[in-house]
Amino acid sequence: MSQQQLRQQYFNARASQTNAQRQLAAQQVSEHLLALPELQVPRTIASYYSVKAELPTAVLNEQLQHHGHQISLPVLHPFRRGHLLFLKLHSQTRWNTNQFGIPEPQLNVQEVVPIQQLEIILVPLVAFDAQGNRLGMGGGYYDRTLQHWYQGRHQLLPIGLAYDQQFIDHLPTQPWDIPLAMVITPSKVWDFRQ
């Protein structure tokens, strides 16, 4: 099956969840995440603003903040095409909608969190496999973000958030794909680190 056919199939799997299933799944994923040893001290975390059929992050982001973690959200880079910036989320955050219809904090250099400072990055995905490979929306945004992390040697834990139905045994990989360290679903915490 082609990458595009896989994306369509798993896009449909994600979309088939009812609202009640989505909220329950988000709560279960949130509990697994907050229980990780890595989150027992305050962390600098990049999350995402969920849209459409994605695993909802609104409650999760609030709970993370409530536990003392600093949350930032992705913003499409104004001139580096295909790249993301991460901006702090707080009660005064002003919002824009990007070209994909996704809300993002208004660009303000003072709110930018350099990738090198991020400790954990929560990644949306369409499908993931048993090696931690990820199929995304096809923009390559997270591949580019994680590549920065790979090249610098700083610690960053990329964690995918997903429904159980997004699992596939084996995804075809591309040379630029960088595997996730973990994926959290309602029923399981997948840890792909040795």
Ligand X SMILES: Nc1nc2c(c(=O)[nH]1)N(C=O)[C@@H](CNc1ccc(C(=O)N[C@@H](CCC(=O)O)C(=O)O)cc1)CN2
Q: Which residues contribute to the annotated binding site for ATP?
A: 134-142
- 157 sits in which H/E element: strand 157-161
In the complex, the smallest distance separating the C-beta of residue 146 from ligand ATP, rounded to whole angstroms, is 8
Among 51, 107, 112, 189, binds ligand X (CB under 6 A): 51
Among 20, 37, 52, 169, binds ligand X (CB under 6 A): 52
Task: Decide: 57 and 122 in contact? Cβ < 8 Å.
Answer: yes
Task: Decide: 6 and 174 in contact? Cβ < 8 Å.
Answer: no
Among 10, 33, 39, 49, binds ligand X (CB under 6 A): 49
100 binds ligand X (CB under 6 A): yes
In the complex, the smallest distance separating the C-beta of residue 105 from ligand ATP, rounded to whole angstroms, is 18
Which CB atom, from 40 or from 174, has the smaller least distance to ligand X? 174
User: Which segment (88-96, 107-115, 130-138, 160-168) binds ligand X by CB under 6 A?
Assistant: 130-138
SS (H, E, C) 68-135: CCEEEEEEECCCCCCCEEEEECCCCCCEEECCCCCEEECCCHHHECCHHHCCEEEECCCEECCCCCEE
Query: Which one of ligand ATP, ligand X, none is in contact with 38 (Cβ closer than 5 to 8 A by kind)?
Result: none
Query: Which one of ligand ATP, ligand X, none is in contact with 144 (Cβ closer than 5 to 8 A by kind)?
Result: ligand ATP
Number of residues forming the site for ligand X (CB under 6 A): 17
150-to-124, 175, 176, 181, 187 alpha-carbon distances in Å: 19, 14, 11, 12, 29
* Amino acid letter for position 130: A
Whole-angstrom Cα distance, residue 166 to residue 46? 21
Footprint of ligand X (CB under 6 A): 48-52, 54, 74, 84, 100, 102, 124, 136-139, 141-142
